[in-house]
Amino acid sequence: MKVEVITLFPAFVEQVITAGIPRKAVDTGALQFHARDLRDYSEGADRRVDDRPYGGGPGMVMEPGPLSDAITAAKAAIGSSAKVIAMSPQGVAMSQALMKQLSAEPGLILICGRYEGLDERVTPQIDLEVSLGDFVLSGGELAAMVLVDAVARLLPGVLGHEGSAEADSFSVGLLDHPHYTRPPVWRDAAVPEVLLSGDHAKIARWRLKQALGATFLKRPDLIEKLSLSGPHAELLREFLSERSGEKNQTSK
Ligand code: SAH
C-alpha cells in the first residue's frame, strides 16, 4: 500500500513510521509512506497556505489552491486511483471495519487540516471524510497517524502470525479474550488451568466464552448487534453463571 499524507507538519507525521508495527510495515515493503509538505505548494514566496475567512469571524482557512496542487502531486506519485481522505470531525467515525476496508486500497492520500479547516471548494477532490471521534483536534495529523497505524497492522504479512489480527477486538464483532503470560502464578493469581492444558479445542472454546463475556459486560451494544447463535448464547450463559458462582464464593 502507498500512503501520502498532506500536512503542514511532515516531520511530526513521519513519527508514526519510526516505531513498532508501522515501521515494520515500511521495512518489509508492505507500506510505502510519504509525508508531503503543503507549504511546498504555497502560491506566494512566504509559503503561506491559509487566509482569513470570507464573511468574517475568527481563525484562518486553508486555501484551496495549494491543497489541490498537493493532491495532484500525491496522485502523480502513487497513482490516480488512490483514495483521497480528509481528516475531519465531520467524517465517518474510525472503526475496525473501516480500517479493514481501507487496508485493501492500493493507495491512500490523507489530508490533515489545520486552523478552521479546508476551503469548501476542494470538496469535489475528496472521496471520504474520516473522523477520530466526536471531539475537535487542533489538526488532522494525529488522526492520520492513528489511521496509518491501524491500517498498517492489517496489511498482508505485517503481523508475525497471519491470524493474529483476526482475534483482535472488533474483528468478529466481539472484544478480544483475556491474555496471560509467564509466570504461571503471580501475586497469588494463577493463570486459568485450561490455558496450560495443551488441549487446543478446549482453549479455543474457553477463549470464545471469555470474549463473549467481556463483550457482554463491557460493550452490551456490540452483543445486541450480533444476535448470537444458539451455541454462542449457551457459552455466554455459561460465562455468566460461572461468574456469579465466583462472586458468591468471594462474598461468603
Ligand atoms: N472548524 C472545524 C474544525 C477544525 S479543526 C469544524 O468544527 O468542523 C482543524 C483540523 O483538525 C480539521 O480540518 C481536521 O483536519 C482536524 N480534526 C479536528 N478534529 C478532528 C477529528 N475529530 N477527526 C479527524 N480530524 C480532526
Q: Is residue 188 among the annotated active site residues?
A: no
Q: Whose Cα sits closest to atom 18 in ligand 1?
A: 137
If you measure from the C-alpha of residue 151 to the centroid of ligand 1, how many angstroms do you get, rounded to a whole number?
Answer: 20
* Position 252 pLDDT exceeds 70: no
d(CA 216, ligand 1 centre) in Å: 33
* pLDDT surpasses 70 at 162: no
Catalytic residue flag (residue 219)? no
Q: How many residues does the chain have?
A: 252
- The confidence score (pLDDT) of residue 165 equals 83
For residue range 20-35, what is the model confidence (pLDDT) as tens digits? 999 999 999 999 999 9
The predicted model gives 62-90 an average pLDDT of: 98
Rg, C-alpha atoms of the chain: 23
Catalytic residue, candidates 37, 69, 116, 238? 116
Is 168 annotated in the active site? yes
Please state the rounded mean pLDDT for residues 190-215.
98
Q: Can you give the pLDDT at residue 186?
A: 98
pLDDT of residue 164 exceeding 80, the answer is no
**Which residues lie with the beta carbon below 6 Å from any ligand 1 atom?**
87-90, 112-114, 116-117, 131-133, 135-137, 139-140, 143
Average pLDDT score over residue span 237-251: 90
Rounded-to-integer distance, Cα 252 and Cα 124, Å: 66
> What pLDDT is stored for residue 66 in this prediction?
98
Q: Residue 160 — very low, low, confident or very high, per pLDDT cuts 50/70/90?
A: confident
37, 61, 63, 67, 231 from 41: Cα distances, Å: 8, 15, 11, 7, 59
% pLDDT > 70, the chain = 98
- The CA 165 to ligand 1 mean position distance, Å, reads 29
What's the pLDDT score for residue 163? 62
% residues pLDDT > 90 (the chain): 92
Average pLDDT of every residue of the chain: 96
Query: What are the tens digits of pLDDT across the range 110-134?
Result: 999 999 999 999 999 999 999 999 9
Q: Which of 14, 168, 176, 238 is catalytic?
A: 168
- Say which range, 61-65, 139-143, 214-218, 225-229, has the weakest mean pLDDT: 225-229
Asked whether the beta carbons of 206 and 193 are under 8 A apart, the reply is no
| Dihedrals phi, psi of 3, to nearest 5 degrees | -125, 130
Residue 191's pLDDT band (boundaries 50, 70, 90)? very high
Instruction: Considering only residues 6 and 160, tell me which one the structure prediction assigns the higher pLDDT.
Output: 6
Q: Which residues contact 165 (CB under 8 A, 6 or more apart)?
A: 153, 154, 159, 171
Q: What is the mean pLDDT of residues 134-154?
A: 98
In this predicted structure, the answer to whether residue 250 has a pLDDT above a threshold of 80 is: no
C-alpha 117: how far from its chain's center?
Answer: 22
3 Cα: distance to centroid of ligand 1 (angstroms): 20
CA 223 – CA 238 distance, rounded (Å): 15
Secondary structure of the chain as H, E, C letters = CEEEEEECCHHHHHHHHCCHHHHHHHHCCCCEEEEEEHHHHCCCCCCCCEECCCCCCCCCEECHHHHHHHHHHHHHHHCCCCEEEEEEEEEEECCHHHHHHHHCCCEEEEECCCCCCECHHHHHHCCEEEECCCCCCCCCHHHHHHHHHHHHCCCCCCCCCHHHHCCCCCCCCCCCCCCCCCCCEECCEECCHHHHCCCHHHHHHHHHHHHHHHHHHHCHHHHHHHCCCHHHHHHHHHHHHHHHHHHHHHHC
Q: Tell me which of 66, 114, 141, 153 is the catalytic residue.
A: 153
User: Cα–Cα–Cα angle for 168, 170, 171, nearest 5°?
Assistant: 65
Backbone angles phi, psi at 184, to 5 degrees: -65, -30
CA angle 225, 156, 128 (to 5 degrees): 55
Q: Is residue 116 flagged as an active site residue?
A: yes
- Return the residue whose CA atom lies nearest to atom 1 of ligand 1: 116
Q: Is the pTM of this model over 0.75?
A: yes
Mean pLDDT for the stretch of residues 5-30:
98
